[in-house]
Amino acid sequence: MIAMPLPFRFFIGFMFQIVPFTVLCAFPFTRYFRYSFRKTVLITAALIFGTLTIYTFICTYITFLPMSNLLRTQIANIVALCCLVVCAFWYFHAVKTTFAKKIFMFSFTLTSALLTASIYSCIDNNLPYAADWPLYTGYSLVCELIIHAVVVPLLCLFLKYFYMPAENGISAKENGYLACLSLFLAVLLYLLLTYISFNYLSHNLPALLLYLTLFLVIFILYGVMFQMYRLAQQRHMAHEQYLQTIYQMDIRDEQYRRIYDGVEQSRKLRHNLKHHLLILQGFLDSGETDKAREYLAQYFQQTDDGSMPQICSNPVVNMLISHYASIAKERGIVFLPHINIPDKLSVQNTDLSVLLGNLLENAIEATDGASGENCIFLNMHCPGKMLLISLENGFDGFVKKEGARYHSTKQGHRGLGIKSIAEIAQKYDGEAEFSHEGRIFHASVILNNAVR
């Protein structure tokens, strides 16, 4: 028998149980830590060390009290449960994501712990010097270490290749269903574990295989569900890409239409110029200079109204802003653009069209339905190599959010515009931020390396 001091056995044995599954629990959510990675790890390590110390002290103390081994085991299990509850509270605080995701991951980890506990219990019953108390012997510690060293990395790989690729595509409602299912399975397995004799399982091969098959079916079920979510997400992304392509084509069609309208307007002006000159000649020949002056004023007013206003020197930006300015004017919306950008940008014209088109279209739609503030403020300028775009507009005060992400409130829309803006910002190593305060919506976009 491997001789070890009693407190050391309790400390190491419980550590082998709690540390691997702490890692498993946090593995998919390292990017969601509330604090820095280093700070989170240090606090977690200190908390685990404290709980291990308390567990070791109590288990060592009750070993020398006059009571049955069954009662000692029950007390040790209660202390271990209390330690896990404390760690669970820290986990739910330290990971900054939806509650349903944390519940699912915690339940999944609990199911995995039950699996390893089952394997360990079956093997432990056949080890030499097996005893009801103390809970950990030298052989059992080595066995527990080997089991966790094999099972936990496999579970991490399972999460990496099945759950994590599908995580972002699972909606809040689906996460809720997944959390309920995993919690139900964990509780069911725990209750089942309390009624099973591992001594019987370790000596009955068909029963042992049936029991392990139950766990295998559960993990296969998880894998199939994650794969289904992943495929659904891929189909949804393909559909969004299709809709985005259609939207870009609409933007280009609108640009071509404005160019065509400008050419047609110029052609008509040239065609009618001869008639206007003849009328002016008639007024001048008859000495009616006042009428000639009035006629010229009307003519210049008509030509000015038909021309595109010069808001900035960049042709694409000027065309887009002019178009949406005319739409805002038709709807009685005050549109105040302040543009200070160079003639040419490194941003592709298609990306610039989609970016500004989405921002201004969403702003006009939101402001048009607002009962209060009916103004849109657009600012664009280029400090250094960056392009900064900020926009404020009024809206009705109703928003749809999932975490920090905004979703469209229009019927049948899924917020493709906001998502496209974020994707374009990411393409140019920038960022897009959206927020609201009362009935004012704020949008800001930063594009790096946007100026040549």
Range with the poorest average pLDDT among 13-17, 267-271, 432-436: 267-271
Per DSSP, the residues of 385-403 read: T-EEEEEEEE--S--EEET
Secondary structure (3-state) at 441: strand
Q: What is the mean pLDDT of the chain?
A: 83
- Give the helix/strand (H/E) hosting 435: strand 431-437
What one-letter code names the amino acid at 216? L
State residue 65 phi and psi, 5-degree precision: -90, 150
**Structural domain boundaries of the chain?**
6-203, 310-452
**Cα torsion for 375, 381, 387, 392, to the nearest 10°?**
-10
CA-CA distance, 188 to 215, in Å (whole number)? 12
Higher-pLDDT residue of 19 and 144 is 19
DSSP 406-422: EE--STT---HHHHHHH
Q: What does each C-alpha distance from 78 to 89, 90, 107 come to in angstroms?
A: 17, 19, 19
Helix residue ranges, H only, 286-402: 289-306, 315-330, 349-368
For 406, phi then psi, to 5°, come to -90, 145
At 299 the three-state DSSP class reads: helix
Q: How confident is the model at residue 68 (pLDDT cuts 50, 70, 90)?
A: confident
pLDDT given at position 450: 77
Q: Work out the percent of the chain whose per-residue pLDDT is above 90.
A: 24
pTM above 0.95, yes or no: no
Q: What is the pLDDT of residues 85-115, one digit of tens each?
A: 999 999 999 998 889 999 999 999 988 888 8
Does the domain made of 310-452 have the CATH classification 3.30.565.10? yes
C-alpha 294/C-alpha 185 separation (Å) is 86
Contact 311, 325 (CB under 8 A): yes
Output the pLDDT for position 1.
Answer: 44
Phi, psi of 288 (to 5 degrees): -90, 70
Q: Cα separations (Å) of 370 from 225, 324, 411?
A: 42, 18, 16
Per residue in 342-375, pLDDT (tens digit) is 888 888 887 888 889 889 988 998 888 776 678 9
pLDDT for residue 149 is more than 70 = yes
**pLDDT of 378 over the 90 cut:** yes
- The answer to whether 94 and 35 are in contact (CB under 8 A) is yes
The pLDDT, as a whole number, for residue 388 is 94
| Whether 134 contacts 6, CB under 8 Å | yes
One-letter identity of residue 348? Q
325: nearest Cα among 369, 362, 368, 376: 376
pLDDT for 298-348, tens place per residue?
877 766 555 556 788 888 888 888 888 888 888 889 999 999 998 888 888
